[in-house]
Amino acid sequence: MKKLIFILIMISSYFSIYAFAQDETPSPTQGNEQQITQPTPQQDQQDQAEQTDMSDQAFAGVVSKQLPMTSEQIAKLREAFEAARRAAATPAKIPAKPTTSSVSVNLSPRAVPPVIRLGAGYISSLVFIDSTGQAWPIRAYSVGDPTSFDIQWDKKSNTLLVQASAFFKRSNLAVLLDGLDTPVMLTLLAGQGAVDYRVDLRIPGAGPNAIYSKQYLPSSADPILMDVLNGVPPKSAKTLKVLGDRDSQAWLLNNKLYLRTPLDIISPAWQSIMTSVDGTHAFELQPTAVILALRHGRDKELKLIIEGLE
């Protein structure tokens, strides 16, 4: 019995000594806190280098994701885009030829209306004049297809500005002039080989602003004079040389002298005349080697020498 009690006391003492030893042993956390030391400069530089490397990698990843192409590829892509835009804006055929002309309007019932050639992106001016070359004011107008043709008018002049808003469209245009009951009918064609930049539409008769000269009364338009006024040599006519004014031209046809000039002839007397709105005249005269003229009806007298009449 005593021996058993002794053994129990020894075991109890052993556990008491073990528990005391465990309390005195520092915990891992306490040991770590006692071992913390300040980082060295080399460690700071290493940490900063690692952070910088990570930042660079993140930036490179964003750039690669947002801009996956290189600078050279972007430049080539832009060149290809500009080439495509240039090709899309280039006409499929040769650009339309710009023209300026004077047309005599026939108001008779069976007459064919004049054709006005238009182009998308081009403005054509239609100028209405009477047989004396003076402006014939517009009263009103109406176009058959207003969605394909745009027309501008200042409500007071004798000029319409017409523009086609689409290719290969056609329509017609009716124009009412002051003091003229018959409407002037025109055919509008877009997408032709030429574009009428300006057309002087000569209406037979005298308009409200007609000016008469002593030698001239308005009459029906002479097709030869109309060609001369447009600078087109009459068919089978002989071209003559004009000295004294570089803007004057002359032709000989059927023993008649046809002169295109911006000058006003004072001698000899002419037989017929046709005038455009820009002041250019087409004269029909008897053949003569010397012509006296004035520029715009004033300034000094000019002498034109006609060579080649023989």
pLDDT value, residue 232: 86
Task: Name the token pair of 284.
Answer: 């029909």
pLDDT mean over 209-215: 66
Same domain, 182 and 109: yes
pLDDT mean over 50-67: 72
80 vs 30: which has the higher pLDDT: 80
Cα–Cα nearest to 120, from 70, 191, 58:
191
Q: Which of 202, 237, 270 is the last residue of a domain?
A: 202
Query: H/E/C letters for each residue in 44-111?
Result: HHHHHHHHHHHHHHHHHHHHHHHCCCCHHHHHHHHHHHHHHHHHHHCCCCCCCEEEEEEEECCCCCCC
pLDDT at 34 over 70: no
Q: Binning pLDDT at 50, 70 and 90, where does residue 298 land? A: low
The answer to which of 39-53, 113-127, 280-294 has the lowest mean pLDDT is: 39-53
CA distance 171 to 236: 36
pLDDT at 31 over 50: no
Q: What single letter denotes the amino acid at residue 297? A: G
This prediction has a pTM of: 0.59
Consecutive H or E run containing 162:
strand 159-164
pLDDT tens-digit readout, 61-93: 776 777 777 778 888 888 888 888 877 766 666
Mean pLDDT over the full length of the chain: 80
pLDDT value, residue 90: 66
Same domain, 197 and 244: no
Same domain, 121 and 188: yes
Distances (CA, A) of 96 to 92, 165, 278: 11, 16, 24
pLDDT at 252 over 80: yes
Q: Which of 169, 202, 235 is the last residue of a domain?
A: 202
Query: Domain span at residue 249?
Result: 223-307
Same domain, 195 and 232: no
Q: What angle do CA 146, 97, 240 make, to 5 degrees?
A: 125
Q: Binning pLDDT at 50, 70 and 90, where does residue 212 land? A: low
The answer to whether position 87 is within a domain reads no
Residues in contact with 211: Cβ distance below 8 Å, sequence separation at least 6, in sequence order: 132, 134
pLDDT at 192 over 70: yes
Look at the chain and report how many structural domains it folds into: 2
CA distance 241 to 255: 16
Point out which residues pair with 151 in neighbouring strands.
162
The answer to whether position 132 is within a domain reads yes
The answer to whether position 19 is within a domain reads no
Same domain, 250 and 196: no
pLDDT value, residue 49: 67
Q: If 0-12 CB within 10 Å is exposed, 13-18 middle and 19+ buried, where does residue 176 land?
A: middle
Q: If 0-12 CB within 10 Å is exposed, 13-18 middle and 19+ buried, where does residue 294 land?
A: middle
Q: Tell me the percentage of the chain whose pLDDT exceeds 90.
A: 32
The answer to whether position 78 is within a domain reads no
Q: Helix-strand-coil percent breakdown of the chain, rounded to 5?
A: 25, 35, 40
Same domain, 169 and 231: no
pLDDT tens-digit readout, 156-167: 999 999 999 888
pLDDT mean over 47-61: 72
pLDDT value, residue 284: 92
Q: What single letter denotes the amino acid at residue 264? A: D
Same domain, 187 and 262: no
The answer to whether position 74 is within a domain reads no
Same domain, 102 and 198: yes
Consecutive H or E run containing 83:
helix 71-89
Q: Binning pLDDT at 50, 70 and 90, where does residue 214 land? A: very low
pLDDT at 184 over 80: yes
pLDDT value, residue 242: 92
CA distance 276 to 260: 11
Q: Which of 140, 172, 202 is the last residue of a domain?
A: 202
283 vs 59: which has the higher pLDDT: 283
Q: Order of strands, edge to edge, in the sheet holding 97-104?
A: 97-104, 194-202, 123-129, 159-164, 149-152
The answer to whether position 293 is within a domain reads yes
Same domain, 117 and 192: yes
The answer to whether position 14 is within a domain reads no
pLDDT mean over 214-236: 74
pLDDT at 8 over 70: no
pLDDT value, residue 124: 94
The answer to whether position 5 is within a domain reads no
CA distance 223 to 60: 79
CATH of the domain at 178: 2.60.40.1080
pLDDT value, residue 92: 61
